[in-house]
Structures are given as C-alpha cells and as structure tokens.
A = this chain, B = another copy of it.
Amino acid sequence: MPPTVFIVSDCTGITAETFAHSILSQFDQKFRLVRVPFVDSTEKAHATIAKINEAVSLDGRRPIVFTTLVDSASNEIVQRSNALVLNMFQTFIEPLELELDIKSTHAMGRVHQNADTDEYKNRIEAINFSLAHDDGQNRNLSDANVILVGVSRSGKTPTSLYLAMQYGVKAANYPLIPEDFERGRLPTPLLPYREKMFGLLIDPQRLAEIRNERRPGSKYAALENCRYEINEAEAMMKREGVKWLSSTHKSIEEIATTILQEIRLERPSYY
C-alpha cells in the first residue's frame, strides 16, 4: 500500500502539488495523492485534520502533508495532525522576511488573486492568440512573440498553447508542408519573421508512429515519407539559420523552456 500524500492549500493547491510531484519523483516509490484545496477557514482546517487522521487508520502509517497554508491559525491546526507536515511557506517565509527586512502579508490565495490583473489578462490574450494562429491560420504574424515551424505532428500546437498559458507568450505556429520543400524556400508569410521563428524536429520513426495513430497506413504516415519531410525540414532550418530542437524525448515544458532561452524572448520578469 503506497503512502498517502495530502496536498493542502488555501487556494488551488497547484503550487504545492507541482512541488510535491517534483520531490516525490526523487523516490522509487508510488504515492497515493489526496488533494484538499480551498482550505480558507479554521473549520476547513479541522475537517482536513479529520481526513488526515482517517488515512492514518486506513494505511497503518502516518501520511505526508505538503501545505502552502499561510493563515497561522489554520496552520497550527494542520500541524497538530498525525502526519509528517511539510509546510513550504512557513519554512521559507521567515528567512525571506529577515532578508528583505519586511513582513509578509500572510494573505491567502495571493497567486491566483490575479484574475483581474494585467498579467492574467495577457495570459488569456496569449491563449486566444495562439488558438487563432494555430496551424498556419491567420497569417498576420507581426504580433507573434514566437512562431513555431515544423512538419505536421512535430509538437507545435501543444507547445504554443503551453507557452501562452504558462508564460503569456503569443506563440503562433506554422506547418511546413511538402510543397514548401519542393519550392526550396521558407513559406512567404514567414519571410519577415526569421528572428522569431523556432523549428521543431522529431525522430522520423516516432513521427510515423504518431501519424499512424491518426491516419493508419497512409502515405502521410509512412516512415519513408516522414524521413523525407524531417530531412527536408532540418535542411531548411540549417539553410535559413533558424534555431531548432528535436521534440522526440522532450516534454512540452522542456521544449517551451528551451525556446524561451534560445530566442531570448522578452517576457514578464518582474513579480
């Protein structure tokens, strides 16, 4: 029976879960996850303790609790549960207060209170932009922060949505098709925007697998055709001086982070 891990937050719990996921992946061990978001009152803190202590009797061992609670009263309550409580905020708030020589606000749910801020509106605008400029639609690319180019199914769409959602980056994407390779030059709508283009390549074998799921047995999915398209795409990137990476074994998080580094995109760098 895997140990139970609680994610306790006064807001969504996404920060605590992201961290818990990272650190728990350092252990060759399965964990059972219980999410307890929106714990924004001492009543809810008491209800949380009850859940935690229930897990103790079910599992026959105390669970692990990752929490980002900021309210001291709720914190004290959760701290009293029969669990290993890892309080991420409490642990780091004090050294930060000392360093900055100011007190923290102890306000709940501060991260996502920003639904009315410009930063948040930019993110939503970027998502709409990326959707409207997916797959070569809407060829007015002057407002794009980055234009992903690559053959069909090389990972452009999820990457551009991730860039928009996580970073508020307006990411268009533009497919390279066999006709572009025959013409031997960049598609015309891309010509003015070479410096904000970024290429995605992918191992032809993997590409053929992905395409076969969509259109089994088609010429489009044939390994030979995938090899041709990827060779041509790679040659085009090199010839045109477009930066690129191979998406084969990379997650969209890794692809997005690499792109931001490589093209030194201006993006919000103040909190």
* A interface, CB within 8 angstroms of B: 2-3, 5, 11-15, 18-35, 37-38, 64, 68, 70, 84, 86, 88-89, 91-93, 95-96, 99-100, 102, 104-107, 110-112, 114-116, 120, 124, 127-128, 131, 134, 157-158, 161-162, 165-166, 249-254, 256-258, 260-261, 268-271
Contacts and interface: CB of A to CB of B under 8 A. Distances in A.
Contacts of A24: 96, 271
A95 B102 contact: no
B261 A37 contact: yes
Nearest to A269: B33
Contact of A157 (B31, B131, B157): B131
A70 B249 CA distance: 21
B112 A27 contact: no
A19 B15 contact: yes
Nearest to A85: B95
A15 B22 contact: yes
A25 B108 CA distance: 10
A21 B3 CA distance: 29
Contacts of A250: 112, 115
Which residue among A26, A84, A249 has the maximum number of chain B CB atoms within 10 Å of its CB?
A: A26
Given A102-B29, A158-B127, A23 B92 contact: yes
A28 B105 CA distance: 7
A249 B22 contact: no
B31 A270 contact: yes
A256 to B, nearest CB: 8
A211 B238 CA distance: 43
Q: Which of A35, A64, A162, A257 is packed against the most chain B CB atoms within 10 Å?
A: A257
Contact of A22 (B99, B111, B254): B111
Contact of A162 (B2, B26, B165): B165
A271 B21 contact: yes
A159 to B, nearest CB: 10
B271 A31 contact: yes
A26 B110 contact: yes
Of all A-B residue pairs in the complex, the 8 with the closest CB atoms, nearest first, are: A25-B110, A26-B104, A12-B257, A115-B251, A112-B251, A15-B22, A33-B269, A84-B99
Contacts of A128: 157-158
A253 B18 CA distance: 13
Given A33-B269, A110-B22, A100 B257 contact: no
Contacts of A31: 270-271
Contact of A270 (B30, B38, B127, B157): B30
A75 to B, nearest CB: 13
